[in-house]
Each structure stands twice: as structure tokens, then as C-alpha cells.
Amino acid sequence: MSRRVKRPLRPAADRAKGARPKGARPHRGSAAERGPAHRPGGKPVVRLGDKQRAPKPFVPEPEKHVAEPPPLPTKVQTVVVTADENNMRVDRFLEARFPGLSFSHIQRIVRKGELRVNGKRADSKDRLEEGQSVRIPPLKLDTPKAAASLSEAAKKTLQDLKDMILFEDADVMVLNKPAGLAVQGGSGITRNVDDMLEVMRDAKGQKPRLVHRLDRETSGCLLIAKTRFAATALTGSFRHRSARKIYWALVAGVPKPKQGRISTYLAKEESEEDSIMRIAAHGDEGASHAVTYYAVVETSATKLAWVSLKPVTGRTHQLRAHMAHIDHAIVGDPKYFNKENWQLPGGLQNRLHLLARRIVIPHPRGGVIDATAPLPPHMLQSWNLLGLEADRFDPIENAPEE
């Protein structure tokens, strides 16, 4: 379910006062209407909405002022990392500066050492610092493919992509990425969204571009820019945290309190076999601050809980690491599930129960994009077996934006 609304994005509390849009979950009253809640012998519970700050209204630029970004540079140039780009990964820095680049082209120039940071070779995962000089080699778009020359396999790929579409217009697509499909290529990955998008090149040779990512086993809303103009605008929205993302997960146990904020530092820990995000201390090498709001929507006795999650930051594996950190790991998580002697209830599949449920982001040409993804088959099966009601009011709607 998705829609593009020609009005500024308003807080969920304000939207609840008006008519309920088609397909929306029923509003069950504000905290004031329900009255204060208390835990026996404890302090009053602070509802997520109590400290909410209304986001600044999005004021779109008039369409007549919209212009495509300049073409990619054909000569070597040196650019300086700005304050907004501080701590960005090298590959994401290139995507933000030059949205026309494909993932494979970025990896190629980095691997060959053509890109230099302060005169030294850099890895695509290295993080940049404000003021650093980045040498950019000549860049080019991949050669366009004629639509008429699509093979049978390419036509099937195109249909697979169309079947995933939740929202689409001339600038943007939101895909319902299935669990198990990788977003980008890598070791052992034979099929991924980025490569699949090759079949959607337009007459100018422009390929739709990824503007954010989901883990391979996470299903749900994946935002795609169809034009360079949209890629630049949407990447900026993510960088400035104008995008609102909501995830659903099934976790072990029931978090207490039932609504809360998780704030830690996360750093990547590499091993010969794998890499994970560990909880780190402020000042640790490679550590980045990560903030997540969570709310319990419904429970299955004390064994399992359906939680709604709102990440404020966008760190790798943030939600998975954070839920494991508070001892309520996401069911089916092969990396972070840390409950010893914990038995999966009968009938539930041992797959990651994490859905990118909803994304709300300013549209590059005005209004907002608001797309919602359904439960994937394995999570829908679990919801049915546990008797969870997928249309319940989602309390994370009222969580703060910071």
C-alpha cells in the first residue's frame, strides 16, 4: 500500500485528528484520552509520544526550478569532504556526489586505486572526515541497453521487479524486496536488486539507483531513484534524517518497559568467517552512535513479542544488534540471536523475522512518499499461528524523530 500525498508531512498525532486514510490502522486514542499508565510499585510510564517534537514542514521547490545535475566529470578532480559528509563511507560519498554511478563502477575505481583520500588509497568501506581531499578519477555511466534487445531472462527479471513495486512515478520507485534477495552483489551472491535494475535503463542510459539498503534476509520497503535528480534529493533526505522508517519484528521474550529508547555506539568486528556489529564505547575506533525507539505491539504469552521499531540513525545491522543488546533478539537472526537453550515454537520458520514495514520521505518534486509493505510469507505464517492481529494500532507512530 502506498500513496503520494500533496501536502507537508505532519506528525502522526496530528494526522490522527483528521479522516483516517484508506487501509490505515484504527486510532485508539491519545495518551491523554487513555489516562496515565503505571507499573505496580513503579514510576509512571513515559509514552513515546509525550516528548515528541513536530518535524519541520517540508516545503517543496517549485517544479519550474528543477534541473538535472551536471554530467559526470570526464577529467581528474579533487573535492573536499564537507561537514555534512563527515563519517560517510567512501562508496556512499561517491553515490551522493555522483548519483549516475553504478555500484560496480564505484567498486572498480576504488579497487584499482584510482580514488585517493589525502593522497592515499582507500577502501570503499573507509569513513571520510571533514576537510579531507578526495581525488576523483574520470567517471562515466554504464553503456545503455536497448529495450528491444532484452533477452527472455531479462524480460523475466523486469517482470519480477514490476511485481515488487509498491509505489512508482517518473522519479521514484518503492519495491517490496523479498527476504533472501540481496540488495547488492558480494561474495557468493548470484542475484541482487542492483544488478536486476540494469534491465530498467531508460532511453538516456540512466539506470535506477539505490538510495538506501536492506539486509539480505530483511524484507519490505526499498526506495529506488529513477533519475539522477531524484537520487540526489533522496540521498540528501536520508543524510539529513528527513526520512521516517518503521520496522516490524518478532523477538524472543517481552521487552520491559514495553516502550523505550536504545542508545549505544556500534563498531564492526571482523573475523575470518564473518563480521558483526558489536556494542562499543564512545571513542572506540570505528564506533558510531546509534539510536532506536521500540514499542511492543502485541505478545504471545511471555515467549514472544511483536515489536515495532523506529531507527533514528541508519547503522549496519542496527536493529538486529540493538534488540540482541537488550536481550530480546529477533527470531531467526543467524548473527545476533543469543538466547541459549531457546526453542523455536512449533510451526515457525527459522528465518529472520524483520520487515521494513513503512517508509515516509519527502518527494523530490513536492509532497511526500508514504509506502507500506505487507508481512512476507514466513512472517505472515508466524502471525497467524500466534494469533497476532496485523491491523493493530502501532504505538511507534508516536515515537520522537530524534
**Euclidean distance between CA atoms 282 and 284, whole angstroms:** 6
Could you tell me the CA-to-CA distances from 16 to 28, 385, 393 in Å, in that order?
9, 31, 11
Task: Could you list the beta-strand ranges (E) of 33-177.
Answer: 77-80, 116-117, 120-121, 133-136, 165-168, 172-177
Cell of 230: 531524484
Cell of 389: 492481529
Q: Are 14 and 54 in contact (CB under 8 A)?
A: yes
Q: Are 380 and 357 in contact (CB under 8 A)?
A: no
**Euclidean distance between CA atoms 98 and 160, whole angstroms:** 28
Strand, coil or helix: 332: coil
**Euclidean distance between CA atoms 369 and 363, whole angstroms:** 6
**Euclidean distance between CA atoms 375 and 325, whole angstroms:** 25
Of 215, 333, 370, 394, which is the active-site residue?
A: 215
Active site annotation includes 394: no
Q: Which long-range contacts (CB under 8 A, 24 or more apart) does 394-397 make?
A: 394/25, 394/246, 394/295, 394/297, 394/308, 395/47, 395/48, 395/259, 395/295, 395/297, 395/308, 396/48, 396/246, 396/293, 396/294, 396/295, 396/297, 396/308, 396/309, 396/310, 397/12, 397/246
Could you tell me the CA-to-CA distances from 235 to 209, 368, 381 in Å, in that order?
10, 15, 35
What's the longest Cα–Cα distance across the chain?
A: 71
Which residue carries 567498486 as its cell?
107
Q: Which amino acid is at 200?
A: M
Q: Are 90 and 125 in contact (CB under 8 A)?
A: yes
- Among residues 180, 161, 194, 177, which one has the least CA distance to residue 373? 177
The residues assigned a catalytic role are 215
